[in-house]
Amino acid sequence: MRSLHGEVGRRLFVGIPGAELDDATARLLEGIRPGGIILFGRNVVSAAQTARLTRDLRRRLGPRLCICLDHEGGRVNRLAKLTGAVPSAPQLAYLGAESLARRQGQLAGRLLRELGVNANLAPVLDLWLQPGVDNSVPDRCWSRDPDEVTRLAGAFLRAMQAEGVLGCGKHFLGYGAADKDPHKVLPRVNRSRAALLRDDLRPYAKLWANGRGPLRMIMLSHAHLRAFHGATLTPACVSSKLVGDLLRRRLGFRGVTITDDLEMGAISRTLPIGEAATRGLQLGVDFLLICHTPDAIRAAFEASIKAVADRKVAPSVMREAGARLDRLTARLPSARAFSSRRFDALVRESRAFTACVFARLPERLRKTDARWGPIGEA
């Protein structure tokens, strides 16, 4: 049976500063014992180094540790130093072939599994609704049509998970119509409740399919949905109407939830991080994602410990979240030994795939580093 510290620590999903574990980071991780680690480009120097880092993390925190990164393609590719360019969702969607989305998912799963990464914060399930607005997702969306999003993102997700890497649908609900970038401020979504339920919710519902679909993990957004909260500014990740009523009860989602990064401006300019973490725990959010700052990680951990100890988080809510995390970790395959030969061969396959996709795109759609994407500029 886990201690109070153990139960709270496993609910944190945290970032680390460099390519190796320094003493201060090692002490922080061993003191908190988070349930997950997120890697960024700052953590990836070479394939062999990244594989050593994931091995070291599991040696310290346990063999079933969830280690993730963002490998969507296009601008969001934490392995860019190793793989070079990877097609974005809009580029694949322009070509329309489910087989291409499936192949991208397969390659992503194989590359990540080789490095010891067992989860990918992808695919994006937001709808492409604001092509000229820098709300962080136009160059990352598959389509404005929810059925196309379901078809292509679903192909990517199924193929990646078949390779032993867990996917995560994001961002619930939903950055596609947001007016601002949540990295900077709290974005507003002004779509009607009817439109949100009919369209934005649809990819999640179809890919969950009452537990029969491939969706097992969902990232909660920081968007304020006016249709649910009016003028009361409320990020989705701490909203009982969205997390409890819509996601858990109406959709019946029984998988794992993770917040978007609690250090983003949408949260830091709205709530203290300790309050955001506590409110997330009270709603039964499974993972609290904190990507960058040790002080923020400590503040969230300490506030969460106090809230649970003071019974501000219902014991039944803690037990249910713990059971969901147990089911998740039981599904994660054991890490495999790294092979530079295998990884180099996969990189060659990935680059050949990218070249094939780009050769089929018009020149104006081949950019991969635009802040908002090639389809939006067409």
Residues 6+ apart with CB under 8 A from 120: 68, 69, 70, 71, 108, 109, 112, 160, 165, 166, 167, 168
State the CATH number of the domain containing residue 131.
3.20.20.300
CA distances 228 to 47, 268, 278, 279, Å, are 45, 22, 21, 17
Residues 6+ apart with CB under 8 A from 75: 88, 139, 140, 368, 369, 370, 371, 373
Report the DSSP beta bridge partners of residue 224: 188
Mean pLDDT for the stretch of residues 111-133:
95
Within a domain: residue 101? yes
Within a domain: residue 5? no
- Residue 2's pLDDT band, with cuts at 50, 70 and 90, is confident
- Residue 34's pLDDT band, with cuts at 50, 70 and 90, is very high
Report the DSSP beta bridge partners of residue 189: 178, 225
Within a domain: residue 24? no
Range of the domain at 261: 31-377
- Residue 368's pLDDT band, with cuts at 50, 70 and 90, is low
Within a domain: residue 26? no
Q: What is the mean pLDDT of the chain?
A: 94
CA distances 7 to 10, 25, 145, 370, Å, are 6, 20, 40, 41
What pLDDT score does 132 carry? 83
Per-residue model confidence as pLDDT tens digits over 332-359: 998 999 999 999 999 999 999 999 999 9
Within a domain: residue 13? no
Give the separation between CA 360 and CA 357, rounded to whole angstroms: 5
Lookup result for tokens 């540790």? 65
What pLDDT score does 376 carry? 37
Per-residue model confidence as pLDDT tens digits over 45-72: 999 999 999 999 999 999 999 999 999 9
What values do phi and psi take at 218, rounded to 5?
A: -130, 135
Mean pLDDT for the stretch of residues 155-178:
96
Within a domain: residue 11? no
Residues 6+ apart with CB under 8 A from 336: 113, 114, 116
Q: How do 169-172 and 217-220 pair as beta strands?
A: parallel
Three-state DSSP at 360 gives: coil
Within a domain: residue 365? yes
Alpha helices in 216-272, H assignment, sequence order:
226-229, 265-268
Q: Count up the domains in the chain and report the number.
A: 1
Within a domain: residue 4? no
